[in-house]
Structure 1
Amino acid sequence: MEATNEFLTRIPHGSDGKRRWPLELKARIVAETLIEGATVNGVAKRYGLIPSSVSDWRRMARTGKLVLPNLDGMDFVPVQIEGPKPLEVVPAPPINLTCVELLKGGVTIRLAVDTPAARIAETAL
């Protein structure tokens, strides 16, 4: 514990008196919490931190803002990726169109459903 306290005195302090933890050290502390048998509370206590700070840093690591070193004894849970689930295709109900309606300047124009697309486009202009 004495070596840890001596180490902590070398952490830079800001003008407000708070320690400014380098990202590499934050990453190492977070990595120590991932060693089998380690707890956030135990690691935080060893470094003189409050556990919520270490939890915040763990969140940063999960979102990719901290790159963790590989420490001996650090285990990761194996990940298994599930395959895509088949999409359920629901057929659309049949549409019975009797006419095409265009709204133009507050006027509704009804055209027969078999009106050529070119004629519908001309009418819409």
Structure 2
Amino acid sequence: MAGTKKVGSTGRFGARYGAKLRRRVLDIEKKTSEPVRCPACATRALKRKAVGLWKCTKCDLLFAGGAYVPFTDAGKAAKRAITQRVTGDFLALRDDEDIEDVLEFLPNVDKDEEIVLDAKTVSTSDTEDLSDE
């Protein structure tokens, strides 16, 4: 019994389990089986070995990832935050209201240095005046 064009591999379920759940299974199976680039050698050779384990068939890189996709949205956000902290791009992580806290947190900012924030220049002496109020 082969899957049809519309329902794909979930045609094996027939009329059971409901259309929404069958659609979810179809989406997950498509994401799991599509070729993904290896982060080490950049070839489309990643294969899922187990739940959360992904292996490159070319360079034999084995790493932990998501259950159905090797790189999850939460993992991408965490990686972006880590690289911003490592490279020293602390202003990308700040809120506009918390500029005083950011300036205290930055290790390499002099007290009288000017910082450009969204086309608005703020000097560190100005923020000290705001914290005294």
Q: TM-score range by the shorter chain?
A: under 0.3
Which has more helix, going by share of residues?
A: 2
Structure with the larger RCO, 1 or 2 (CA within 8 Å, 6+ apart): 1
Give TM-score scaled by structure 1 length. 0.22
Larger Rg: 1
